[in-house]
Amino acid sequence: MHKRLFTPGPTEVRPEILKELATPQIYHRAPEFSDLYAEIQPKLRKVLYTKNPVLLFTASSTGAMESAVTNCVAKRCLNLVNGAFSKRWHEIAVGNGVPCDAFEIEWNKAIRPEMVDAQLSTGKYDAVTLVLNETSTGLANPLPEIAQVVRRYPDVFFLVDAVSGMAGVKIETDAWGIDFVLAGVQKAFALPAGLTVAAVSERALVRSEKVPPRSYYFSLPLMYKSHQKNQTPATPAIPQMFALNAQLTDMLAEGMDARFARHERMAKIVQTWAKKHFDIYPEEGYWSKTVTCIKNTRNLSISDLVKTLAKDYNFRISNGYGAIKEKTFRIAHMGDAQVDEIEGVLKAIETVLKL
Ligand SMILES: *Cc1c(COP(=O)(O)O)cnc(C)c1O
């Protein structure tokens, strides 16, 4: 029996979209492929609020994170860290020999614009990485406010991991001056894993021509060269592209504002419920609109709760991440999940725990 996913990636994929994966395959050097690629572009640019090219990575989000830091840093990169994924971005930079420093704060606290200002004012950096929505802790950093600070430093490129936010919350890529914004499609896009999209600014593409090549598969100059022909340098995940194309059409038919509003409604419901029965892990004012990380204030066995929900209700929620595995649990409310489904999960938890 299928367990319906309320995990913060992968998320539940609708059967209509799954069917798209079975579309007969096309040759990636044939015109029909370029047509598919070209059809996807304007839709993605709408969802990402950008005029920039949106590159398709046949990789999970981690691959695009690697592309960002290997291609867009000429001098030194500042990695803002307040969770597992922002820490991973620092490790990716270190692992690829990209000069970088981590600025780490407590994981239940948001990165504040003043902190970013203080770091950038040292003049050491020409790029900064930020995770919009820390999926490990359910914390949303104040992206527009931080973007405002970064824009005051014209040489500093702004690289944003929007993995569990994009397509669930509005990200004004161009208005906020984001140079590289990426998201794997298995989160709020509600698609099967295997593809990551990233909008890349013109100046980031220009810089990527100049930095010493640190990567081949994730080389922005190579990807952009193919992009101009509506192609990819290597064979892409063609099945996922069929699914992406169909899902983007459905998303735009729903309306992005309606989609964001639905996410906000679901978030409110889960947050109110969590405050009533438990507590919420990150500090108030910075709760994610796509995933809630709930504090285990009742000293429950989280693994038992997760197992029972899967066995008796066919609902899959998630335990905490890393060090807070048993101290928290996470309910994702993103993608194509609907309000009544989220309410159903909360009801099931109430029944299991006799709340
Ligand atoms: C899931 C996630 C990642 C990593 O994604 P993969 O697709 O597993 O590489 C990175 N950042 C954030 C914020 C995430 O939620």
* Structural domains of the chain, ranges and CATH numbers in brackets: 4-9+255-353 (3.90.1150.10), 20-253 (3.40.640.10)
Is 125 within 8 Å of 156 (Cβ atoms)? yes
Q: Which residues line ligand 1 (CB under 6 A)?
A: 9, 60-62, 85, 131, 133, 135, 161, 163-164, 184, 187
Query: Which residue's entry shows tokens 């919350």?
Result: 169
| Ligand 1 center to 3 CA (angstroms) | 21
CA of 89 to the centre of ligand 1 (A): 10
How far away, in angstroms, is 163 Cα from ligand 1 center? 6
Residue located nearest, by CA, to atom 14 of ligand 1 = 163
What confidence tens digit (pLDDT) does each residue in 288-347 have? Answer: 999 999 999 999 999 999 999 999 999 999 999 988 999 999 999 999 999 999 999 999
Nearest atom within ligand 1 for CA of residue 65: 10
pLDDT tens-digit series, residues 190-218: 999 999 999 999 999 999 999 998 999 99
Is the full-model pTM beyond 0.95? yes
Round to whole Å and give the CA distance between 200 and 185. Answer: 17
Distance 50 CA to ligand 1 centre (A): 22
Nearest to 317 by CA among 299, 296, 297: 296
Type and span of the H or E element at 196: strand 196-200
Contact partners, residue 178, CB within 8 Å, separation at least 6: 147, 158, 159, 160, 171, 199, 201
How much distance in Å is there from the Cα of 166 to the middle of ligand 1?
12
* One-letter amino acid of 191: L
Q: Name the closest-CA residue to atom 5, ligand 1.
A: 61
